[in-house]
Amino acid sequence: MTTLLLSIMFAVSASAYDVEVDGIYYNYLSEKDVEVKSGDNKYTGDVVIPLSVVINEKEYSVTSIGDYAFYGCNSLKTLYYDSSVNPKINSDLLSELYIGDNISIVYDYFNSSKLTKIVLVKNVTQVRANAFKNSQIEEFTVTGEEPPYMYTNVFGTQDLSKATLYVPESKTE
């Protein structure tokens, strides 16, 4: 099962939600889909957001993470992103981003983040313009043998002269 893993320490105050499953709060969007929401308890530790969840013996697709679902999670530092779901997270607190095996195109979902470390796996083929425009990149790792196509202004106007780029040894030239 593909997952989205968020490392967080705590979440926001109470918010409306329809159901809680394994410590994650959801709202029904349709007869097939649910959205992650904030809940009445504080999220702690690692939170794994699955692509689907079973509620009352019926499987629902997790199709989105609601705006502000993790708003106020001041310890949200690392996101393991391996889902086509737009995380819609107050991501200005993120410092590290790991793009998982199921992502081929990186969109600008994280353009407000102050990311210092980004790791792209082998399946990423494109990184769209402004994807990391407000980052403060110190480390950027590409694990695939074929580097992804990088649109212009992927990193906005930041100075990358002190950043370290890691690539497979066979691609160092």
pLDDT tens profile 26-80: 999 999 999 888 777 655 555 677 778 999 999 998 887 777 776 666 666 777 7
Residue 89 and residue 110 in contact, taking contact as beta carbons nearer than 8 Å: no
pLDDT above 70 covers a percentage of the chain that reads 76
- pLDDT of res. 129: 94
- pLDDT of res. 87: 66
CA distance 141 to 171: 12
Residue 63 and residue 81 in contact, taking contact as beta carbons nearer than 8 Å: no
Evaluate if residue 124 carries a pLDDT over 50.
Answer: yes
Beta bridge partners of 58: 55
CA distance 116 to 141: 11
Residue 127 and residue 110 in contact, taking contact as beta carbons nearer than 8 Å: no
